[in-house]
Amino acid sequence: MKTITVSASKKYDILIGDGLLDDAGPAIRCAAGGNAAGIVSDDNVYALYGERLNITLAENGYRVADYVFPHGEQNKNTETFVSIINFLADERIGRSDIVVALGGGVAGDLAGFAAACYMRGVRFVQIPTTLLAAVDSSVGGKTAVNAAAGKNLAGAFYQPELVLCDTSLLSTLTAEIFADGCAEVIKYGVIFDRELFDSLETPINDRLEDIISKCVAIKRDIVAEDEFENGRRKLLNFGHTVGHALESLSGYTIPHGRAVASGMAVVTRAAAAMGICDTGCVTELTRMLRLYGLPDDAPYAAGNIARACLSDKKRDGSFLTMVFPAAIGECVLKDIPVDELEAVIRSGSGE
């Protein structure tokens, strides 16, 4: 097992290892305390792992209440958020009790935002069950739900007390959902770490603890330096402005990881067209995306993508801050004037 400590506005540990779920109770009691635990999970994950989490929490003195919502990004919305708040109140979860997110990024973002808001903040714990949640969404304290006007528009920076990542839980992921997480792993390689990127030539399934630890360590360093995304943390949004637009345009039927993969490919081709990187960078990225069965194109017209991008949070007045690779392992931030955005996306989408 590896332990990585995040030093942000709150200091907390991320435990990464095989078989941690059945001993989650003592670790959660030690890190978060409380008398009652509200578990938030989706129906798929709860059916697989809910009972085991209930048992270890009950054995460690928690009164446990379960909130189970239908899986899918479509349910990461304000209605589910309000329903979780009412559930916590109905179950008499108090200010000193805890919320536990058991699931992928959707459960984590929903539970984290509910924990941030319920009674002005109760402690919470993340148990990520997808590769994407393990390497990215469970770490760093971003929580949010989608609104009709756009993705993640209501949210908070709210750090957990503990992240417990049991790598054995990832064995039940479908190949497609596993690949969504690979998109975020590839993202870390392109932004910060050429060596990590090159290592992805070899399949990662049998070295998950190592790969997850590498990604989490990168994110820990970024969060310690820029918790509230005023500068360097923005680099982690590589592929996300276009990616969020694709998710939103598809009515959230394109999964986050695949949307980010398309977004990274579009932005990298645009970077080559603008002379920020060379075409070799495009070739390397698209080859890697294909190796993991991920898309490298965007299924919408550049004009539609640009309009959807403009509801993204990264817009600042008449500019949109976007992340472009200068090389594999090095990305830069660039302010794109809003009226040039469509042309930039067109140059990257090969329209």
Ligand X SMILES: NC(=O)c1ccc[n+]([C@@H]2O[C@H](COP(=O)([O-])OP(=O)(O)OC[C@H]3O[C@@H](n4cnc5c(N)ncnc54)[C@H](O)[C@@H]3O)[C@@H](O)[C@H]2O)c1
Burial class, 147, CB count within 10 angstroms (exposed 0-12 / middle 13-18 / buried 19+):
middle
> Per rule CB under 6 A, is residue 110 in the interface with ligand X?
no
**Per the residue annotation, which of 229, 247, 284, 342 is the catalytic one?**
229
Name which position in 133, 165, 216, 245 contacts ligand X (CB under 6 A).
Answer: 133
> Per rule CB under 6 A, is residue 80 in the interface with ligand X?
no
**Per the residue annotation, which of 256, 258, 269, 314 is the catalytic one?**
256
Q: Is 120 a residue of the active site? A: yes
Calculate ∠ Cα 332-251-305, nearest 5°: 40
* Nearer Cβ to ligand X (105/189): 105
Burial 36-55, CB ≥16 within 10 A → b, else e: bbbbbbbebbbeebbeebbe
* Nearer Cβ to ligand X (234/346): 234
State the residue for tokens 């991008």.
309
* Nearer Cβ to ligand X (122/131): 131
Name which position in 56, 130, 286, 349 contacts ligand X (CB under 6 A).
Answer: 130
Burial 121-135, CB ≥16 within 10 A → b, else e: ebbbbbbbbbbbbbb
> Per rule CB under 6 A, is residue 73 in the interface with ligand X?
yes
Report how far residue 54's alpha carbon sits from residue 45's, in angstroms, rounded to the nearest whole number. Answer: 13
Task: Kindly state the tokens that stand for 320.
Answer: 């949109």
Positions 241 through 300 that interact with ligand X (CB under 6 A): 255-257
Give the pairing type, strands 330-337 and 319-327. antiparallel
Q: Is 184 a residue of the active site? A: yes
Task: Kindly state the tokens that stand for 260.
Answer: 């980010």
**Per the residue annotation, which of 52, 233, 315, 334 is the catalytic one?**
233
> Per rule CB under 6 A, is residue 45 in the interface with ligand X?
yes
Burial class, 174, CB count within 10 angstroms (exposed 0-12 / middle 13-18 / buried 19+):
exposed
**Catalytically annotated residues:** 120, 142, 184, 219, 229, 233, 237, 240, 244, 256
Chain residues that interact with ligand X, rule: CB under 6 A: 42, 44-45, 48, 71-73, 76, 103-107, 109, 129-130, 132-133, 136-137, 140, 142, 152, 169-170, 172-173, 177, 180, 255-257
